[in-house]
């Protein structure tokens, strides 16, 4: 039985111009990609500097031309990013190399716009004062992910959090596509187990959210189903043997494919639900956007899967998600009652409308069943 | 059982910057895409002019700025393309709209280079006199496929045939990526049944050839398996009810996904075998590059499929190919003995080396078994 007519829209588009280069040791090829001569801003975290990765990049790129910004902290904060953008403007930066997880890539993407702006409050004026986004230029970005989850290395989106208003803001637009995504699975080996899990759940969430999405299309479906098939096998292996680079590489591929899928569809229900849980209760993003997946998937599996082999993949993903017992993990951060109390903030514009599935019992039942 | 380590290379890359816009009636959106004001060269066939499509495009784009070249014939010929390029150079063409099958798209791609050259024999000097390719510019190309098979709308390749030497030449390079691929399934409704079948077989061949390919990678695999899953279901429906636009749209999607896959991997064994059969014996390309697929697939199914759901898809494709009895169709054009006599010409450089599968009994047995 084909349900193709139900889930594939009659009109669709696709465009993703990111150059992808992947493989063990791919980091060594970075100098081939970054424009020669220009001044480079390296965006990363103190942890990577401590572990010697920053020094390695300085050697690779040529120390004299690199400005290091290694103070990125989890969940890119509007004020911090804005401050960094303004204070780095006089440095004549011609390229940004971002090495890190989602927050590093988000920060770097925001900087790629903020460095080209002359506004003293490029992000505050847009997200707090409500002025229109007028960024027309961006510094070319070379994205090197060290987690396998966000897919940010191939999306035209960046997330920014506002600590003062507890809001999550989205930067988006074609100029946010990185010029190059460089995937070296060696860089993901140092990721702690819990972050590995939550990153992977973010990737699985991206793939599923691109399937029950009103923007779903043939290309995004191809990428999403493959992301799920790879992730479903790779994640248990990564968790069992986190120092095996092959499983890490597979998880990195799954994350990339899921990123390519949401680069076209954006996310939907599960992400919409997650934002207040992260901004108000500090739930890690990958957990917050995945704890509702089992319920949504169970209710929509036949709608999302057009064919038998797709049902096979989705059923395996559902089984994996159920085994991970995400409800119990959620309750380490927040009670069921607190979650229910945040319902009104779970309607992220441009996310929840993307959801093309069914939600029997609505949001309350989704939340109740998901933290049981 | 996973054979992932066997078939996925450790280093891989991906880059495809084509904008895709698809849907019934998408042709009407063409003016949104083509640069305004610039002079447009419309490349198509006499058939489309006869059926009124050229007039429709003239209305859409504005008649006064369009130069029509509607004399494209099957299998783009070097001399004809070169002559057209040189004679159109003084027209100050700023965009090319190509509407047609593979030959139209190939011709248009070659023209997009040839129009920017000052060489009196831009293709002859390269492919006959052996001078290096020095094209550094191309006119932006808007590709509108009317067959569902070549995938040329999203590849950086164009094929050119040399009638005098019976050789097939390949143009390739990033500047050959169309700016936009516009997919309107309505345009494929007029394709005769036999051409519909052979086009679809070309697409299936692209998908399979990208899987048993040494350049296979996670993104190309995702696209190829999905192309096969869609094509295997859509092709019988298109053949049974050729005027149903939904099945035509699905076949068009499969062709596009397969094109995206080979845009990264290029083709392999089955295409290498096909070229002399087309250039010397006039076998339609889609048939020539697919009649060997059942044998190659049977011998490589377990190697190509990493997982159960992939084997399901490949087994269904194999069954479909066997049902189509391509050997008998081949013998309408050429005898088994003639085919065997062309073996020495079946080693296309840059194709046969891409084949990462097994070929028990080598080329002779492949050919014998395939025309039985």
Measured between CB atoms, which of B12, B26, B307 is closest to A229? B307
Query: Where does the pLDDT of residue B134 fall: very low under 50, low under 70, confident under 90, or very high at 90 and above?
Result: confident
Average pLDDT, chain B: 94
Q: Chain B closest CA to A39's CA: distance in Å?
A: 25
**Other CB atoms closer than 10 Å to residue B322's CB: what's the count?**
14
pLDDT tens-digit readout, B44-97: 999 999 999 999 999 999 999 999 999 998 889 999 999 999 999 999 999 999
pLDDT tens-digit readout, A9-67: 578 999 999 999 999 999 999 999 999 999 999 999 999 999 999 999 999 999 999 99
Q: In the numeric block, which tokens belong to residue B280?
A: 């010397």
**Other CB atoms closer than 10 Å to residue B359's CB: what's the count?**
17
Nearest-by-CA chain B residue for A253: B218
Angle of helix A308-323 relative to helix A293-304, nearest 10 degrees, comes to 170
**Chain A residues with CB-CB distance to B20 below 8 A:** 13-15, 219
Strand partners, A67: A41
Say what the pLDDT of residue A59 is: 98
pLDDT tens-digit readout, B166-205: 888 999 999 999 999 999 999 999 999 999 999 999 999 9
With a cut of 70, say whether residue B3 has pLDDT above it.
no
On the 0-12 / 13-18 / 19+ scale of CB atoms within 10 A, B130 is exposed
- CATH class of the domain comprising A26-183: alpha beta
Query: Where does the pLDDT of residue A4 fall: very low under 50, low under 70, confident under 90, or very high at 90 and above?
Result: very low
With a cut of 50, say whether residue A6 has pLDDT above it.
no
CA distances from A136 to A50, A95, A120, A133, A139 (A): 36, 16, 16, 9, 11
Measured between CB atoms, which of A16, A24, A257 is closest to B222? A257
Say what the pLDDT of residue B177 is: 98
pLDDT tens-digit readout, B298-328: 999 999 998 899 999 999 999 999 999 999 9
Q: Which is more confidently placed, B136 or A233?
A: A233
Measured between CB atoms, which of A15, A22, A233 is closest to B2? A233
Of A267, A234, A271, A240, the closest CA to residue A253 belongs to: A234
Cα angle for residues A280, A284, A287 (degrees, 5° grid): 115
Residues 289 to 308 of A: which have CB under 8 A from any B CB?
307-308
Strand partners, B13: A21
Q: Chain A closest CA to B27's CA: distance in Å?
A: 12
CATH topology of domain B191-370: Dehydroquinate synthase-like, alpha domain (1.20.1090)
Nearest-by-CA chain B residue for A182: B13
Measured between CB atoms, which of B18, B217, B312 is closest to A308? B312
Q: Chain B closest CA to A209's CA: distance in Å?
A: 17
Measured between CB atoms, which of B14, B21, B225 is closest to A20? B14
pLDDT above 70 covers a percentage of chain B that reads 97
Q: Chain A closest CA to B179's CA: distance in Å?
A: 10
Domain ranges for chain A, please list them: 26-183, 193-370
Average pLDDT over residues A223-252: 97
Residues 90 to 149 of A: which have CB under 8 A from any B CB?
none
Say what the pLDDT of residue A5 is: 38
Residues 190 to 249 of B: which have CB under 8 A from any A CB?
217-219, 221-223, 225-227, 229-230, 233, 246, 249
| Tokens 């030959």 sit on residue | B103
Say what the pLDDT of residue A133 is: 82
**Chain A residues with CB-CB distance to B206 below 8 A:** none
Average pLDDT over residues A282-307: 96
Its CATH architecture, for the domain A193-370, is: Up-down Bundle (1.20)
Distance CA B74, CA B159 (A): 11
Chains A, B: CB contacts within 8 A come to 108
Does B20 contact chain A (CB < 8 Å)? Answer: yes
pLDDT tens-digit readout, B243-292: 999 999 999 999 999 999 999 999 999 999 999 999 999 999 999 999 99
**Chain B residues with CB-CB distance to A225 below 8 A:** 222, 226
Q: Chain B closest CA to A254's CA: distance in Å?
A: 8
Of A182, A157, A175, the closest CA to residue A97 belongs to: A182
The reply to whether residue A13 touches residue B20, judged by beta carbons under 8 angstroms, is: yes
Say what the pLDDT of residue B8 is: 53
The reply to whether residue A24 touches residue B10, judged by beta carbons under 8 angstroms, is: yes
With a cut of 70, say whether residue B5 has pLDDT above it.
no
Q: Mutate which of A18, A22, A252 to test chain B, going by most B C-beta atoms within 10 A?
A: A22
With a cut of 60, say whether residue B352 has pLDDT above it.
yes
Q: Taking a C-beta distance cutoff of 8 angstroms, is the pair A230, A207 a contact? A: no
The reply to whether residue A22 touches residue B12, judged by beta carbons under 8 angstroms, is: yes
Q: Mutate which of B17, B22, B32 to test chain A, going by most A C-beta atoms within 10 A?
A: B22
**Chain A residues with CB-CB distance to B307 below 8 A:** 229, 233
Q: E strands, chain A, where?
A: 12-22, 39-43, 66-69, 93-100, 141-145, 157-162, 167-172, 180-183
Average pLDDT over residues A106-130: 96
The reply to whether residue B10 touches residue A249, judged by beta carbons under 8 angstroms, is: yes
Does B182 contact chain A (CB < 8 Å)? Answer: no
Query: Where does the pLDDT of residue B214 fall: very low under 50, low under 70, confident under 90, or very high at 90 and above?
Result: very high
Distance CA B266, CA B151 (A): 12
pLDDT tens-digit readout, A261-277: 999 999 999 999 999 99
**Chain B residues with CB-CB distance to A221 below 8 A:** 226
Query: Where does the pLDDT of residue B6 fall: very low under 50, low under 70, confident under 90, or very high at 90 and above?
Result: very low
Nearest-by-CA chain B residue for A2: B233
| Tokens 């494709």 sit on residue | B317
With a cut of 90, say whether residue A194 has pLDDT above it.
yes
Q: Chain B closest CA to A241's CA: distance in Å?
A: 16
pLDDT tens-digit readout, A318-344: 999 999 999 999 999 999 999 999 999
DSSP H helices, chain B, are 4-7, 30-33, 46-50, 53-61, 78-88, 102-114, 124-127, 193-211, 218-240, 245-265, 269-281, 285-288, 293-304, 308-323, 326-330, 336-341, 362-370
Query: Where does the pLDDT of residue B9 fall: very low under 50, low under 70, confident under 90, or very high at 90 and above?
Result: low
On the 0-12 / 13-18 / 19+ scale of CB atoms within 10 A, A344 is exposed
The reply to whether residue B227 touches residue A227, judged by beta carbons under 8 angstroms, is: no
pLDDT above 70 covers a percentage of chain A that reads 97
Say what the pLDDT of residue A354 is: 95
The reply to whether residue A4 touches residue B250, judged by beta carbons under 8 angstroms, is: yes
Q: Mutate which of B218, B255, B259 to test chain A, going by most A C-beta atoms within 10 A?
A: B218
The reply to whether residue A222 touches residue B226, judged by beta carbons under 8 angstroms, is: yes
**Chain A residues with CB-CB distance to B11 below 8 A:** 22-24, 26
Q: Mutate which of A13, A177, A218 to test chain B, going by most B C-beta atoms within 10 A?
A: A218
Q: Chain B closest CA to A319's CA: distance in Å?
A: 16
| CB-based contacts of A343-348 (< 8 A; 24+ apart in sequence) | A343/A367, A345/A275, A345/A276, A345/A280, A346/A272, A346/A273, A346/A275, A346/A276, A347/A272, A348/A168, A348/A271, A348/A272, A348/A275
Q: Mutate which of A20, A33, A211 to test chain B, going by most B C-beta atoms within 10 A?
A: A20
């Amino acid at each position: 039985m084909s349900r193709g007519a139900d889930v594939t829209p009659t009109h669709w588009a696709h465009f993703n111009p990111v150059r992808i280069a992947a493989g063990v040791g791919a980091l060594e090829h970075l100098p081939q990609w970054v424009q020669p001569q220009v001044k480079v801003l390296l965006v990363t975290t103190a942890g990577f500097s401590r572990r010697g990765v920053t020094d390695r990049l300085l050697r690779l790129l040529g120390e004299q031309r690199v400005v290091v910004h290694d103070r990125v902290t989890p969940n890119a904060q509007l004020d911090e990013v804005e401050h960094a953008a303004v204070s780095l403007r006089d440095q004549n930066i011609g390229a940004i190399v971002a090495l890190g997880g989602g927050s590093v890539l988000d920060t770097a993407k925001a900087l790629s716009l903020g460095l080209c702006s002359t506004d003293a409050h490029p992000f505050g004026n847009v997200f707090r004062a409500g002025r229109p986004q007028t960024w027309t230029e961006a510094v070319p970005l070379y994205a090197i992910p060290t987690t396998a989850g966000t897919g940010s290395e191939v999306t035209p989106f960046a997330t920014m959090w506002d600590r003062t208003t507890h809001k999550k803001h989205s930067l988006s637009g074609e100029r946010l596509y990185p010029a190059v995504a460089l995937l070296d699975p060696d860089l993901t080996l140092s990721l702690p187990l819990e972050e590995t899990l939550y990153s992977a759940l973010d990737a699985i969430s991206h793939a599923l959210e691109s399937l029950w999405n009103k923007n779903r299309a043939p290309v995004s479906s191809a990428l999403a189903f493959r992301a799920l098939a790879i992730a479903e096998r790779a994640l248990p292996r990564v968790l069992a043997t986190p120092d095996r680079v092959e499983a890490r590489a597979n998880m990195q591929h799954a994350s990339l494919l899921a990123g390519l899928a949401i680069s076209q569809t954006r996310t939907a229900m599960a992400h919409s639900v997650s934002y207040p849980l992260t901004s108000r209760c500090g739930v890690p993003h990958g957990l917050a956007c995945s704890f509702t997946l089992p319920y949504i998937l169970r209710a929509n599996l036949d709608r999302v899967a057009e064919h038998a082999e797709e049902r096979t993949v989705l059923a395996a993903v559902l089984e994996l998600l159920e085994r991970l017992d995400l409800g119990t993990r959620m309750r380490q951060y927040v009670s069921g009652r607190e979650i229910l109390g945040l319902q009104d903030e779970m309607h992220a514009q441009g996310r929840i409308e993307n959801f093309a599935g069914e939600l029997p019992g609505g949001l309350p039942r989704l939340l109740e069943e998901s933290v049981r």
